[in-house]
């Protein structure tokens, strides 16, 4: 049993560990990086809905500002996406 | 197809001791977008009439509505009427180029030029140079330079970095959205669901997200120029 375990460990090379760490890092990067933008965009949508319910005639302006704000909020998520893509395809 | 995801068709050119690399697919696709826009403009121009005595035909009415919509959306976000008049052609050209680039990927065998970081960075640099030029023109050289040491002199590095960070975030936002969408479409259509699903993904990422991102790109360009001119 111990011998078997030893042969298994000897088959795993440093490159394998690096590959595994790369995929793991990309997953963690995207997963944690998506939390912030998700909360931010949800808040923006919630407040825009509040405003629309209160003043339906402002819907057009609110929608435009909301989409713009969400797109800006999204940029931190996009940065983590870029980092994850770099980890997966470039490194 | 998945093996080719990270690969590109690169041409290396060396002039003297300098060597340049060109992504051929991006260059070709950019020219396709330009050709599409020019062809559309030349085609639509034929049905435009200068005199207003006649009833406008369908194409002219449609273009009127389109330009009116763009103008209404953009003019309200500019700082002044004069700025809006001067910059409307530039911003709308930027919007049309980015929109056509984003929508090009829904045609088979075509790729969005905006999938390449070099294209989005050059577009963002264009906006950056425009904003600096307009800031110097509107405020004058001394007031422009003094803007960097306000409110305090030790804020200078912060102001410079803040100014330089804008084109970076502007470029990466567009690139990340389009590139991420294209990777998702490729992975899903090759690995999980080769039929029907890619069509829906293309509609969302190609048409909807591409349109929103093009609009956001144009509006952010307006916002950056506004901030540079005002502050």
ipTM of the prediction: 0.71
User: Roughly what angle, to the nearest 10 degrees, separates helices B210-230 and A59-85?
Assistant: 100
Q: What is the mean pLDDT of residues B16-39?
A: 88
Best A85, A86, A87, A88 member to test B by mutation, with max B CBs in 10 Å, is A85
B22 phi/psi in degrees, rounded to 5: -120, 135
Does a structural domain hold residue A28?
no
Q: What is the pLDDT of residues B32-78, one digit of tens each?
A: 999 999 998 888 887 776 666 667 777 788 888 888 888 887 777 78
Does a structural domain hold residue A10?
no
User: CB-hemisphere CA count at 13 Å for B37?
Assistant: 18
Q: What is the pLDDT of residues A60-76, one digit of tens each?
A: 888 878 888 888 888 88
Q: Does residue B16 belong to the interface with chain A, where contact is any CB pair within 8 Å?
A: no
Best A45, A82, A86 member to test B by mutation, with max B CBs in 10 Å, is A82
Q: What is the pTM of this model?
A: 0.82
**Domain of A69, in residue numbers:** 34-91
Q: What is the mean pLDDT of residues A24-35?
A: 93
Asked if the model's pLDDT at residue B83 lies above 90, the reply is no
Does a structural domain hold residue A11?
no
Q: H helices then E strands: how many in chain B?
A: 8, 2
Q: How far apart are the first and last CA of chain B?
A: 49
Does a structural domain hold residue A14?
no
Contacts of B189 (CB under 8 A, 6+ apart): B197, B198, B201
CATH classification at residue A48? 1.20.20.10
Q: How many domains does chain A have?
A: 1
Query: If you measure CA to CA, which chain B residue comes closest to A71?
Result: B216
User: Comparing A6-10, B19-23, B104-108, which segment has the lowest mean pLDDT?
Assistant: A6-10
Does a structural domain hold residue A27?
no
């Amino acid at each position: 049993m111990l011998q078997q375990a030893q042969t298994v460990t000897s088959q795993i090379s440093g490159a394998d560990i690096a590959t595994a760490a790369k995929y793991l890092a990309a997953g963690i990067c995207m997963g944690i990086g998506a939390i912030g933008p998700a909360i931010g965009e949800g808040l923006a949508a919630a407040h825009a809905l509040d405003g629309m319910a209160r003043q339906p005639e402002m819907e057009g302006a609110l929608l435009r500002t909301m989409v713009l704000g969400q797109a800006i909020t999204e940029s931190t998520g996009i940065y983590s996406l870029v980092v994850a893509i770099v980890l997966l395809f470039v490194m | 197809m998945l093996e080719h995801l990270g690969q590109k068709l690169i041409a290396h050119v060396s002039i003297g001791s300098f060597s340049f690399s060109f992504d051929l697919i991006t260059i070709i696709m950019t020219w396709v977008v330009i050709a599409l826009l020019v062809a559309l403009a030349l085609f639509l121009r034929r049905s435009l009439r200068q005199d207003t005595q006649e009833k406008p035909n369908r194409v002219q009415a449609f273009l009127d509505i389109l330009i009116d919509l763009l103008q209404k959306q953009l003019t309200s976000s500019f700082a002044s009427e004069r700025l809006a008049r001067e910059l409307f052609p530039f911003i709308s050209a930027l919007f049309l180029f980015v929109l056509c680039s984003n929508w090009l990927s829904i045609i088979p065998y075509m790729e969005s030029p905006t999938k390449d970081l070099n294209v989005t960075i050059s577009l963002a640099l264009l906006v950056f140079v425009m904003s600096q030029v307009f800031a110097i023109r509107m405020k004058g050289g001394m007031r422009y330079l003094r803007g960097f040491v306000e409110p305090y002199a030790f804020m200078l590095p912060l102001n410079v970095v803040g100014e330089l960070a804008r084109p970076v975030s502007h470029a990466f936002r567009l690139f990340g959205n389009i590139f991420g969408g294209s990777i998702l479409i490729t992975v899903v259509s090759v690995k999980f669901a080769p039929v029907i699903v890619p069509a829906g993904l293309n509609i969302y990422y190609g048409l909807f997200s591409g349109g929103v991102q093009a609009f956001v790109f144009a509006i952010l360009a307006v916002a950056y120029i506004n901030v540079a001119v005002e502050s």
